[in-house]
Amino acid sequence: MRIALMGQAAFGADVLKGLVKMGQEVVGVFCPPDRGGKADPLKEAAVNAGVPVFQPAHLKNPEAYDQMVKLNADLGVLAFVTDIVPARVFNAPRLGSICYHPSILPKYRGSSAINWAVINGETKTGLSIFWVDEGIDTGDILLQKEVEIGPQETTGEVYFNKLYPLGVEAVLEAVDLVAKGKAPRIPQDHSQATYDPPLDEKLAGLDWKKPGPQVFNFIRGCDPQPGATTTFRGEKVKLYNARFLEEASNASPGEILEVIDKGLKVAVPGAAVLLTRFRTKDLGKVKAPEFIQAKQPRVGERFGS
Q: Which domains does the chain have, with CATH numbers?
A: 2-192 (3.40.50.170), 201-295 (3.10.25.10)
Give the relative orientation of helices 9-21 and 164-179 as an angle to the nearest 10 degrees: 40
Q: Is the pLDDT of residue 305 over 80?
A: no
Q: pLDDT band at residue 237, thresholds of 50, 70 and 90? A: very high
Find the DSSP H helices in 3-80.
9-21, 41-49, 62-71
Contact 88, 65 (CB under 8 A): yes
Contact 115, 92 (CB under 8 A): no
**Residue range 152-177: mean pLDDT, rounded:** 98
**Residue range 277-300: mean pLDDT, rounded:** 98
Q: What is the CA radius of gyration of the chain?
A: 22
Comparing CA positions, the residue from 226, 221, 255 lying closest to residue 238 is 226
Q: What is the pLDDT of residues 262-285, one digit of tens each?
A: 999 999 999 999 999 999 999 999
**Residue range 31-49: mean pLDDT, rounded:** 94
Ordered strands of the 256-260 beta sheet = 243-245, 271-275, 263-268, 256-260
Q: Is the pLDDT of residue 71 over 90?
A: yes
Ordered strands of the 53-54 beta sheet = 53-54, 25-30, 2-7, 75-79, 97-101, 124-131, 141-148
Q: Please state, in angstroms and rounded to a whole number, the distance separating the CA atoms of residues 203 and 106.
A: 23
